[in-house]
């Protein structure tokens, strides 16, 4: 996936930060998992998720070579600069944020990115009823989750924006319906714009058969399969490491695209293979969903809402493909040679490169 929230990624790839907030008494705790090296080096994470080619890449690389203790000491000394990038509001009024601790992962391999955990706190004013958290645009996208409430907020916060207002006290748990609705955009966002590999897979299915029946057969097989593994993985009944799932997802993209080039008519094995690949993609979806912290009582509602969002994202991709070129050109004699084959070749090359990158570089 374009964004898979795991610490084991290529050293040049900077993952979105995961922010967990909780309340204990009159203290708001904020725990941020992020790349301190990227922050200290001044990378603009709203413009790129990759340090490669950045004008600050040399400084980022130097900081990555520091020991955990050295990076922790440096980050503590630079806390005032980091703090300037953070924003906390209680009832729309600015609040002070205090550093509690910094924990840096052990340095095992310079080719593997490491995450650090930044813990900060703030005292809740007696009259405050809600709060918002955010940071400057250059720190990029965050995944924000409220972890102390059974049905707390979980979602993306765009670069430079504040989170939605979150109640300090859990006066009334969210209903199953509200939980369902809240998780639909989470699933949709994971496809558009953040799920480039899933987008390419769906485009590959579309290119093979722009006609309704064969396309429906493939999409149905894919949907049923990823729904099964999404549910099983979310319940921890199936656990497969991302280091296995992600390369296989890339291989599935390449396979579908290559078959598009050499096969022009659907056969029985195609939906079966798509079903198998759907099982893999479901595991990929689950790895993202787990980072939001699924609610207890609203688990099923959240799971269904996320899956509905994923399906809406897939349908949006298909709609763009259909209205963009298939509607106009699918009946032309040159449609396959000029659109299907070249497009599939590009997708295949991307899938092959991703597989190589995830196996040998990630």
pLDDT digits (tens, 9 = 90+) for 21-50: 999 989 999 999 998 998 999 888 886 555
Residues 91, 69: Cα–Cα separation, whole Å = 37
N-terminal to C-terminal alpha carbon distance within the chain: 13
Question: In this predicted structure, what is the pLDDT of residue 4?
Answer: 31
Structure tokens at 29: 């705790």
Label residue 127 exposed, middle or buried (CB < 10 Å: 0-12, 13-18, 19+).
exposed
User: Where in the chain are the domains?
Assistant: 17-173, 186-361
H or E stretch at 101: strand 98-104
Q: What percent of the chain is helix, strand and coil (3-state, nearest 5)?
A: 50, 15, 30
pLDDT band at 204; cut points 50, 70, 90: very high
Q: Which residues pair with 333 in a beta bridge?
A: none
**Percent of the chain at pLDDT above 70?**
87
The tokens of 165 are what?
A: 């207002």
Side-chain half-sphere CA neighbours of 355 within 13 A: 14
Contact 235, 186 (CB under 8 A): no
Confidence of residue 120 (pLDDT cuts 50, 70, 90): very high
Q: Do the Cβ atoms of 289 and 191 come closer than 8 Å?
A: no
Cα separation of 174 and 165, whole Å? 15
pTM of the prediction?
A: 0.68
CA dist 137 and 352 (Å) reads: 33
């Amino acid at each position: 996936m374009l964004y898979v929230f795991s610490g084991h990624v290529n050293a040049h790839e900077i993952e979105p930060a995961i922010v967990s907030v909780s309340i204990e008494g009159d203290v708001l705790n904020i725990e941020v998992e992020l790349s301190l090296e990227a922050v200290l080096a001044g990378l603009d994470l709203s413009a790129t998720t990759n340090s490669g080619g950045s004008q600050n890449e040399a400084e980022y690389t130097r900081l990555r070579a520091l020991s955990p203790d050295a990076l922790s000491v440096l980050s503590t000394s630079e806390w005032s600069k980091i703090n300037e990038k953070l924003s906390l509001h209680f009832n729309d009024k600015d609040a002070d944020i205090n550093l509690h601790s910094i924990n840096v992962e052990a340095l095992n391999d310079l080719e593997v990115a490491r995450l650090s955990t930044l813990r900060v706190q703030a005292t809740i004013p007696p009259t405050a009823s809600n709060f918002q958290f955010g940071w400057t645009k250059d720190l990029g996208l965050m995944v924000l989750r409220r972890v102390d409430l059974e049905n707390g907020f979980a979602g993306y916060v765009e670069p430079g924006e504040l989170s939605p207002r979150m109640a300090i006290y859990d006066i009334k748990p969210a209903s199953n319906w509200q939980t369902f609705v809240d998780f639909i955009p989470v699933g949709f966002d994971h496809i558009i714009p953040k799920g480039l590999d899933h987008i390419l897979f769906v485009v590959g299915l579309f290119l093979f058969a722009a006609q309704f029946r064969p396309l429906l057969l493939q999409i149905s097989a894919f949907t049923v399969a990823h729904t099964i593994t999404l549910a099983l993985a979310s319940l921890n009944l199936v656990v497969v490491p991302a280091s296995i799932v992600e390369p296989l997802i890339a291989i599935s993209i390449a396979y579908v695209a290559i078959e598009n080039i050499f096969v022009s008519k659907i056969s029985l094995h195609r939906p079966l293979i798509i079903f198998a690949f759907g099982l893999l993609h479901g595991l990929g979806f689950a790895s993202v969903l787990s980072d939001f912290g699924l609610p207890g009582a609203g688990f099923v509602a959240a799971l269904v809402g996320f899956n509905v969002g994923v399906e809406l994202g897939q349908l949006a991709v298909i709609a763009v493909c259909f209205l963009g070129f298939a509607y106009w050109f699918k009946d032309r004699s040159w449609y396959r040679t000029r659109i299907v084959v070249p497009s599939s070749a590009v997708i295949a090359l991307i899938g092959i490169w991703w597989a190589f990158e995830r196996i040998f570089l990630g």
